[in-house]
Structure 1
Amino acid sequence: MKSGKNPPRTQKVPLLSAGGETKLTSSMPTKYYSETFERIPEEKRNRILSVAIAEFANRGFTSANTNTIARKAGISVGSLFKYFETKEDFFLTAVGHGISQLERTLEKVIQEENDLFGKIESILRIIQRHSRENQDIIRLYNEMTSEGNSDLIRRLSSELESVSARIYTSLLSKAKKEGIIGKDIEEEIFAFCLDNLFMTLQFSYASEYYRERMKIYLGSNIFDQDEKVVEGLMKFIRRALAVN
């Protein structure tokens, strides 16, 4: 897919609110689609991206066929050319659309009055529910992390991970100032570990390999024991961040 007729699509958005507080924004600050795509009805945009998410999740970036996606979405290949310059742009847009669905839910948690541990517990419960209900999105994210295209990986990690890195680091810094967690906690390292925990939990509810892995460690009926998982993870997190 390549077209030189589309207008520039780069548009940056702030990661902080006017008051300086951490605020979630779209996980993809850069737009990878044309203005034509923005102008079509929302229902049509969502249909195209839902089909793309399923196709990329099932077949991977390299094997996914844009002709198949266009056919399943009920549009012409020519229209797809008008919406996205390249297959990479289409993939990046699909990833951003999928992850932003989770982030919109998490935004409410981040803005809650709960302390750090209350917010983390809410996030764990959201991950359990969202990962079951949106397995294609999570499998797409998993596929993205194993993609062999190094240029694509650089673009994705820069766009996606910088948002969560800033959010978690900010939350930990605030908790540290309030004396909720230890003064010796290095916010950046713990933010990285926390995000890895969240990511692994997501994959465990959506990816066949990670599901089997979780059952090996926690038992074959662990997916019927959500409360046990949350309680166990919260004990681990609280002790890791405890004030000495």
Structure 2
Amino acid sequence: MPKNTFFNLPQEKRNRIINAAIEEFSKVHYKKVTIDSIVNSAGVPKGSFYQYFHNKDDLYKYLFSQIVDQKKQALVKVKKLQNQLSFRQYVMTLLEQGKKFEQRVSNLSALKDKFMNECSQEVKRDILKNEIPKSYEVLEEAVEFYIKKGELRQDLDVKTAAYVITSCFVNIQDFRLSEEQAVEDVLIDILDVLIVGMK
């Protein structure tokens, strides 16, 4: 995570560094991204980079932390719809909002693709360990709400349910799609299977 000096910078300068990093990490192979390329693009001296971050991995982890936090804020706004939607509808709405958020964030699709295929296992593990629980929190709140609403069974373990749903959705890229299957349809099928076990 960034050093305190980073947070003392003017917002405009922080944004320049973050945007330059997103641009580099989304276009260049992870191993080939250099601090030189990031600071040159951001227009900041190389020496000052180390006053803000420990290294390239530190900056990369921070990028994902910020993106996941912003996505979580977008998803939390859907909470006001809980009374109007079934659990299935609510989770599908969360997925739709997540997709819309990702479409709005410049280069996020390329950044995610490079994260999955080029990032070192150690850095990937650290990011997933820190960021996936934020998704659990959103789903835990939803599961608790729908248990109280009577739609999900009373003895359902909230943490387990949130973990299983999140794990299935996060790892959807491992699902072997047939040519006629769309990812969205598979997600609906997975959710339907899980809901049967939760009712």
Q: Say yes or no: TM over 0.5.
A: yes
1:64 has 2:27 as partner: no
Structure 1 position 74, deviation (Å): 1.6
How do residues 134-145 of structure 1 correspond to structure 2 at under 5 angstroms?
134=105, 136-145=107-116
Task: Specify which of 134, 148, 171 is matched with residue 120 of structure 2.
Answer: 148
- Output the aligned Cα RMSD: 3.3
Identity of aligned residues (%): 20
- Contact 1:54 1:137 (8 Å CA) reproduced: no
How do residues 184-203 of structure 1 correspond to structure 2 at under 5 angstroms?
187-199=158-170
Structure 1 position 193, deviation (Å): 3.8
1:237 aligns with 191
| Gaps in structure 2 of 5+ consecutive residues | none
1:117 aligns with 88
Question: What secondary structure does 1:62 align onto?
Answer: helix
Structure 1 position 142, deviation (Å): 4.1
2:146 aligns with 175
1:44 has 2:13 as partner: yes
Normalized per residue, which structure has more helix? 2
Question: What secondary structure does 2:18 align onto?
Answer: helix
Structure 1 position 138, deviation (Å): 3.8
Counting matched residue pairs gives 195
Structure 1 position 189, deviation (Å): 4.5
**Distance across 2 between alignment mates of 1:64 and 1:198:** 29
**Distance across 2 between alignment mates of 1:37 and 1:106:** 27
Question: What secondary structure does 2:54 align onto?
Answer: coil
1:132 aligns with 103
- Contact 1:131 1:138 (8 Å CA) reproduced: yes
User: 1:239–1:93: structure 2 CA closer, same or farther, 3 Å change rule?
Assistant: closer
Deviations 1:75-116 (A, max 9, x none): 121221221122221111122122222122112123554353
- Contact 1:53 1:95 (8 Å CA) reproduced: no
Deviations 1:189-227 (A, max 9, x none): 4423422454367x7xxxxxx9xx879343xxx79xxxx
**Distance across 2 between alignment mates of 1:85 and 1:233:** 38
1:103 aligns with 72
**Distance across 2 between alignment mates of 1:128 and 1:215:** 22
1:77 aligns with 46
TM-score between the two structures when normalised by the length of structure 2: 0.76
User: 1:96–1:148: structure 2 CA closer, same or farther, 3 Å change rule?
Assistant: same
1:143 partner letter: K
| Further displaced range: 156-165 or 139-148 | 139-148
1:216 aligns with 179
- Contact 2:74 2:98 (8 Å CA) reproduced: no
TM-score between the two structures when normalised by the length of structure 1: 0.64
